[in-house]
Structure 1
């Protein structure tokens, strides 16, 4: 009896140790998740022996919130947008992360000084800067292609269907910029009833020509299938379609709305220590630069930018394809977390009512 008890305890400890050598990371799927596998997960496993299981979601913040509230957390690390990182942290659904665990920059600069603005929060660590841009099939406009955010709304000069994400965030900002509002004035105007009315009035001008998309993979597919001639999209998705798949797509950076994605740990994650080890590894200077070999999202650390090199094809320079490249930032807008915290509920309600109206 005693021998059986000892043996059973030993087996349980072995099983527990074995389980601790694996973590689950939830991200957004597609090319983005694959870039994380190549840049972070494979080298992390090689260095630590901890295997990484990838799971995907259209928006990881939603299932993570449900898991924590149900007390059934199966994910150790989650990749989420900045606004969701702040909100979930405030709701007590994420573990706090001490920035002291994060590696310094190669020159010794502390991580707290090396990350870009919004790159760190109490419960999350930034990895990439991505942007919502619009793209087009250049075979449709061989002589005079669209160049500005205003062109996206010009159905006379550029006739055809438009692809838009079915959500107000980024869309309302782009509508105002398309109506001539400078990027640095967008949120002041959008905070007023007149500004909101102006944004929806601009959307009215293309409403009958819109094909809506909901996941990142759908936008380039709409262009590829010829269902739309112009589409808003995540810049990395369009880059991958153009460079990896040979699609004749070009991006328009004018009027881009850029945001951050960050790594966080759900409250009650089964392998918290290994999750912290993964985040510290993945958000080091070289690792963030390495991800740019696989996708055109800018690294969230200042020290990573000079290390960004060629795409995996060995010939495409990645720096000019980053949202944060100076040439791409001339009329760019940083998505405002504060604005959307204050106005998301009312603007989503207004957006849904606008969608359902004839």
Structure 2
């Protein structure tokens, strides 16, 4: 992902927008349609970002839209129709770079638009290395993990590795995978013996892609697919599947808050950023920018970790992570970057998915239908 910092560009003209002061912010009014992923994740944003912001700005209304799973297609359609109705979109970095290249989301000058750290460190130096994109503002570090329902396996034979996902003899039951190639192709190669550091080199070749799909073929008849993040823990809770891929924060929420008997397999976790993009041509740019300045500051990113086990994307936020707001659980041990969990990570290569994503998404979609 590119990290050069550019000024915000509005439709048809370049406009440099200064973040508003708190005093000015009190005069903000209007509504924002904010697109995110739904479920426990949107709930964490609601409590950490939306509610504090609207309390400070009572004339602002925030409307949540759970459309992030199809954000790139939605942005393209709105742009082509000349009718942009989304104000702010939570998006994956690889899709954000495609949208940025197509000019359908705004370019961001991070130091001009975002709050500095409490000690004055500019935003461009405070956000974690590699996380900022020219059109992308990260919020969290999260991971896609393999998880299982512990009640569906004997106590002396519980799964532990990504290889166990592909072992239907020793670990029977249906498996649920997200309906996109990312994570699934990486894990297929990892389970087939490819070293972690070589996965993207192998996947960059036609032979490597064929190898990944061949490995997935070995469990194809045992698979079902999910689209929305909330579906994965529900499938596992209903025992429709014994394994599922899922976002670590959703699985934490289901286990810690709802008491579900879920266990996370941290082996091979796919580590990724997630964050905000601003649609080009949106109707409320000034209000969006004021919201972003507030919602991405050091305290707000730390606050989100009170409600879901995703790590904040700013270095200055990490020391502020403490206990879960409702449960009193120390959240540090549940972060994907905790050393006890970060022993065999696969850091998602966004440059790879920007270059090869469209081709692999098409092939994966066809494969699911076969």
Alignment TM-score > 0.5, same fold: yes
2:64 maps to 1:51: no
**Superposition RMSD in Å:** 1.8
Which residue pairs with 1:257 in the alignment?
270
Which residue pairs with 1:322 in the alignment?
335
Aligned length: 341
Aligned residue runs from structure 1 range 1-358, under 5 A:
20-49=29-58, 50-57=60-67, 58-99=69-110, 100-141=112-153, 142-357=155-370
Offset of residue 109 of structure 1: 1.4
**Which digits, 9 at most, give the CA deviation of each residue in 1:77-126, with x for residues without a partner?**
11111112111111111122221221111222111011113422222211
Distance 1:196 1:26 in 2: 32
Offset of residue 341 of structure 1: 2.1
Secondary structure, aligned partner of 2:224: strand
Secondary structure, aligned partner of 2:70: coil
Offset of residue 26 of structure 1: 1.3
**Which digits, 9 at most, give the CA deviation of each residue in 1:266-309, with x for residues without a partner?**
11111101101111111111100100111111111111111111
Offset of residue 43 of structure 1: 0.8
Distance 2:318 2:217 in 1: 40
Secondary structure, aligned partner of 1:68: helix
Q: Looking at CA atoms only, which structure, 1 or 2, has the larger radius of gyration?
A: 1
Distance 2:286 2:238 in 1: 45
Offset of residue 349 of structure 1: 3.2
Distance 2:70 2:28 in 1: 26
Secondary structure, aligned partner of 1:288: helix
In structure 2, the gaps of 5 or more residues are 1-26
Judge conservation of contact 2:137–2:276 (CA < 8 Å) in 1: yes
Distance 1:90 1:330 in 2: 34
Distance 2:114 2:248 in 1: 28
Judge conservation of contact 1:236–1:296 (CA < 8 Å) in 2: yes
Judge conservation of contact 2:160–2:265 (CA < 8 Å) in 1: yes
Offset of residue 19 of structure 1: 8.9
Larger helix fraction of residues: 1
In structure 1, the gaps of 5 or more residues are 1-17
The range that moved more, 293-302 or 344-353, is: 344-353
Judge conservation of contact 1:174–1:256 (CA < 8 Å) in 2: no
Offset of residue 20 of structure 1: 4.1
**Which digits, 9 at most, give the CA deviation of each residue in 1:36-85, with x for residues without a partner?**
11000111112234332222213333222222221212222111111121
Judge conservation of contact 1:176–1:199 (CA < 8 Å) in 2: yes
The range that moved more, 278-287 or 105-114, is: 105-114
The range that moved more, 197-206 or 347-356, is: 347-356
Offset of residue 199 of structure 1: 1.0
The range that moved more, 52-61 or 102-111, is: 52-61
Secondary structure, aligned partner of 1:257: strand
**Which digits, 9 at most, give the CA deviation of each residue in 1:136-161, with x for residues without a partner?**
11112222211111111111221111
Distance 2:368 2:66 in 1: 28
